[in-house]
Amino acid sequence: EFNSFNILWKDDYTRTHKEPLNPYLTTLKQGVQHFKEKLKQIEHFIKGTDELIHFKYELDNIRLYNDNEDILLHDIYKYVPNYPNIQIFWKIKGHFMVPYKRLINIEKGLLKGPDIEFEQPNEKSKFNPLLYECDVQKLKIMQSILRFKLPQNDQLHNLLHEIIMNGYLCDLITPQTGNKKDEQRLHKYIKKQIHFNKKNPNELILNDKILTILNELKIIYHDDIHKQMGYPLQPWNICAILLYCGKSCNVQFSYDQIKYKHDRWCYLDYYLQEAIMVLHNHEKFEEHETELYCGLKSVRLENIEEIKSGFFISHVSTSDDIEVAKMYRSGQGCILHFHPSMRRSPYIISCDVSWISPFEHEREILFSRSFTCFFFDEKMHKEECGWNAKIEEQDEYTQMILLTWAPHDQYFQQIMQISEKWNHSVDLNLIYVILLSAQEIMTFANVNINEIVHLGLKNFQTWKNRNTEYETKINEFMEHRCCNHDINLLSIWFRDCINYKKEFTAIEFATLNIIHNGLPFIEKDKIKWLENKKK
C-alpha cells in the first residue's frame, strides 16, 4: 500500500515529522514542494515568517543522476529492500523571512493607558547584576523544562490563571482605590464571579467586563500597526507584553527570573518571548543603527572578566534615551550600553514595543530572555548567540558597560586592520562578508587570510567600478530586504565572476547574509576606532 511509504524529516525545532506519500504518483519535485509548503506553514505559525529565502534538501544515501526532479519517487526507491513498506529520511532546510510589505518602521504610537509607577520590593534581592548566564547547558535544561510544562491549548486561560495565582489579579481589572481589606474582599468576590479554581485554569471565565485587560488587548490587536504586519500576534502574546510593559507584576516577574524562579511564571515568560520573536521578525532590524541603554540601580560589576559570552536569563527593557536609563540607575549603579549589533543579531531577539507600551514619552525596546538552538553546540552558542561586555567608563557613582554581539568583537580588530589599508573607504560589513567567505574557502590552506581579503576587495572594486547592470536590479534586491548595496553587488560578483556559492542566486546570497546571518558593523565603528587609536 502506498501509505506504508513514509518520509521522515526534522524541522529547526528538533521535531520529527512523518509524511506518507504515494511513490507511484508523486515526483521528486512534487515531494520537495510538499515539504517546502509544510515548512513554510510551521515557520509562519511560530515566527510569522513565510517568504522563502533559500531551500535545500538531501536524500538519505541516494544519488540522483542528471538532477532530474521529475522522476517518480517509485523509480528512486524501488530497489531499496522492503520497498514500498519503508521509512526514509530526508534532510530539509529552509530559511524564511517576513515579506517587505509586512515590515514596519515603528513610529511612537498613541497612549494606550495611564502611566504606572513601579515600586521595588522591600526585600533586598541578591541577583546576578548583569542578568546573564554563561552556562549554555543550564540554559538548555531550563528551556526544555519550561516548554515541557506548557500545554498547547487554552493559552489565554493559562496565562491569566498564572497571574492570579501569583497574586496579581489587580493587573487584570480596572484599578481600584481603597484600603487593603477592601481590596482583598473585592478580589475574593471577583474570583467567585470568574470561577477561579487554583487547580483548573480551564474553568476561568474570560469576562471582559471584569477582566478589563481583555479590552486593552482587543484594541491593540486591531491597531493599524498590527494590521500592517498581518495580525501575527496571538491575544496571549499581546497580553504578555501588556503585563510586562505596564503592570505591577513586572517587578516580581523580573526578580523571580533573576533568581532562577522561571517556573513561577512559565506562561508569561514563554508568551512574552514568543511575542518578542514575532515582532523582531516584522521589523527592519537589519537597518538599525540606534544605540540603546538600560539603567540598573545599585549595581556595580567588580570583575569584567566574568563575562566573555553572556546570555540574558531575564527579559531586559531598554530605551534609546540615555536620560531614561539614568533615571532608573538613580544615584548610583550602572548603565548598560547596547551597541547596534545587539539589535541586528538574528539570535539576540529584540523588538520595539512603543506602540503597545502605555508610557507615552519613552521608546521601549525589549530584549528577550536568551533562547538556545538545539542544533547549536556550546561553541556555536557562544560565538553566534552570545554577547560580550566591557567597561567603557566609570567613576565612583556610575559604570557604563558596553554590550556587543559576539561576532562584532571576534572580527573587529582584524576587519579594522584591513579597513585601514583602504583608508577606511570600504563598508566594514563588506569586509566582514568577504572575510567569512575567504575563511570558508581557505579552511585548510596555509595562507594569510588578510591578504586574501585584500586581493578579493581589490578585484571586486575593479569589477564594481565597471558594473552598469546593478542599477536595473536595485528594486528587486530592495524588495527582498537587501538594504546594503555593496553586499548586493558582492553577491552578483561572487556568482557571476568567481563561481562561488553558485547554489544560491545573488538575491538569496545577499538576503542570507543581511537577514539570516546579520551584519554587525556600523559606520560609527570606524570613528570610534580612530578616536581610540589617537588616545
Residues 78 and 152 in one domain: no
Q: Does 115 have pLDDT greater than 60?
A: no
**Better-scored residue on pLDDT, 114 or 507:** 507
Domain count, the chain: 3
Is the whole-model pTM more than 0.75?
yes
Peptide bond into 520 cis (omega under 30): no
For residue 160, the one-letter residue type is L
Interval 452-467: pLDDT, tens: 999 999 999 999 999 8
Our CA angle for 76, 81, 82, nearest 5°, is 105
pLDDT at 304: 63
Residue 125 lies in a domain: no
Which tens digit of pLDDT belongs to each residue from 244-267?
998 999 999 999 988 888 889 999
Of 309, 308, 292, 484, give the one whose Cα is nearest residue 400. Answer: 292
Residue 456: predicted pLDDT: 93
Does 112 fall in a domain?
A: no
Q: What pLDDT is recorded for position 224?
A: 94
- The verdict on 150 and 270 lying in the same domain is yes
- The pLDDT value given to residue 118: 37
Looking at residue 419, its pLDDT comes to 96
* pLDDT(531) > 90: no
Domain boundary among 376, 406, 436: 406
Residue range 335-346: mean pLDDT, rounded: 95
Average pLDDT over residues 76-102: 90
**Looking at residue 366, which CATH number applies to its domain?**
3.90.176.10
Range 464-478 average pLDDT: 92
In a domain, 415, yes or no: no
Residue 498 has pLDDT above 90, yes or no: no
69 plus 141 within the same structural domain: no
User: How far is 97 from 502, CA to CA, in rounded Å?
Assistant: 21
User: What's the pLDDT score for residue 113?
Assistant: 39
Residues 361 and 454 in one domain: no
Report the pLDDT averaged over residues 474-498.
94
Predicted pLDDT of residue 122: 37
Domain boundary residue among 364, 379, 406? 406
Are residues 249 and 356 located together in one domain of the fold? yes
Same domain, 387 and 427: no
Which of 9-18, 66-75, 160-169 has the largest mean confidence? 160-169
Average pLDDT score over residue span 179-189? 89
Residue 116 lies in a domain: no
Per-residue model confidence (pLDDT) at position 108: 43
Task: Count the helices and strands in the chain (H runs, E runs).
Answer: 20, 11
Q: How confident is the model at residue 131 (pLDDT cuts 50, 70, 90)?
A: low
**DSSP readout, 244-301?**
HHHSTHHHHHHHHHHTT-GGGGHHHHHHHHHHHHHHHHTB-GGG----EEEEEET---
Q: What is the CATH number of the domain that holds 31?
A: 3.10.20.90
DSSP string of 445-494? --S-HHHHHHHHHHHHHHHHHH--SGGGTHHHHHHTT---HHHHHHHHHH
pLDDT tens-place string over residues 195-214: 999 999 999 999 999 999 99
The answer to whether position 527 is within a domain reads no
Q: What is the mean pLDDT of residues 135-146?
A: 64
240 in Cβ contact with 268 (< 8 Å)? yes
Share of residues in the chain with pLDDT > 90 (%): 56
What does the pLDDT look like over 156-174, one tens digit per residue? 999 999 999 999 999 999 9
* Residue at 533 is within a domain: no
User: CA-to-CA distance for 273 and 271, rounded, in angstroms?
Assistant: 5
Q: Are strands 333-338 and 387-394 parallel, antiparallel or unpaired?
A: unpaired
Residues 378 and 490 occupy one common structural domain: no
For residue 310, being part of any structural domain is answered with yes
**pLDDT over threshold 70, residue 503:** yes
Average pLDDT over residues 527-534: 86
- Taking only the tens place, the pLDDT of each residue in 34-66 is 999 999 988 888 888 989 999 988 887 777 766
Q: Span 472-476, mean pLDDT?
A: 93
Together in a domain, 466 and 380: no
Asked if 189 and 292 sit in the same domain, the reply is yes
- Per the structure, the complete domain to which residue 483 belongs is given by 422-517
What pLDDT, in 10s, does the model give residues 285-316? 999 999 999 998 888 777 666 566 788 889 99
Residue 209 lies in a domain: yes
**What mean pLDDT, rounded, does the chain reach?**
86
pLDDT in the model for residue 143:
66
Last residue of one domain, picked from the residues 97, 127, 144: 97
Residues 303 and 252 in one domain: yes
Sign of CA dihedral 388, 398, 261, 197: negative
Burial class (CB in 10 A: 0-12, 13-18, 19+), 130: buried
Residue 375 binned pLDDT confidence (cut-offs 50, 70, 90):
low
pLDDT digits (tens, 9 = 90+) for 405-459: 999 999 999 999 999 999 999 999 999 999 999 988 887 667 788 899 999 999 9
Both 345 and 470 in one domain: the answer is: no
Question: Rounded to 5 degrees, what are φ and ψ at 372?
Answer: -110, 145
Residues 485, 399: one domain?
no
Lowest mean pLDDT among 191-195, 323-327, 418-422, 498-502: 498-502
Residue type at position 443: T
